[in-house]
């Protein structure tokens, strides 16, 4: 796994795996649950709707919009998703 691989997201004081974040984004953005779009693609679409510069995380707070968690940012291999409780890195 590369240090730039996205292993999760931090949003409203929770760390979520891509799958759990995708579920929140689908609900929050009212996207079709049957969509095959990736979590990142859905977040990019939602960012446009809510007026967030998704590519510049310095412009918003993780309480307002999800920020990525890269493999290199996970300090403990036991860090888990607050949604499904699976490890963020395998």
Model pLDDT for residues 8-20, shown as the tens digit of each residue: 999 999 999 999 9
Indicate the pTM of the whole model. 0.87
Per-residue model confidence (pLDDT) at position 77: 74
Residue 8's beta-bridge partner residues? 69
* Mean pLDDT confidence for 28-36: 86
Task: Sketch the domain layout of the chain as residue ranges.
Answer: 6-73
* Mean pLDDT confidence for 44-49: 92
Q: Report CA-CA distances (Å) from 53 to 28, 47, 77, 87, 88.
A: 17, 7, 30, 28, 25
Q: Determine what percent of the chain is predicted with pLDDT higher than 70.
A: 96
* Mean pLDDT confidence for 15-43: 91
């Amino acid at each position: 796994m590369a240090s730039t691989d996205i292993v999760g997201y931090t949003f409203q004081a929770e760390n979520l795996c891509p799958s759990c974040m995708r579920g929140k984004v689908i609900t929050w953005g009212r996207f079709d649950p049957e969509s095959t779009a990736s979590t990142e693609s859905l977040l990019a679409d939602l960012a446009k709707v809510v007026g967030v510069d998704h590519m510049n995380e310095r412009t918003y707070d993780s309480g307002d919009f999800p920020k990525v968690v890269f493999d290199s940012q996970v300090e403990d291999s036991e860090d888990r998703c607050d949604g499904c409780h699976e490890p963020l890195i395998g």
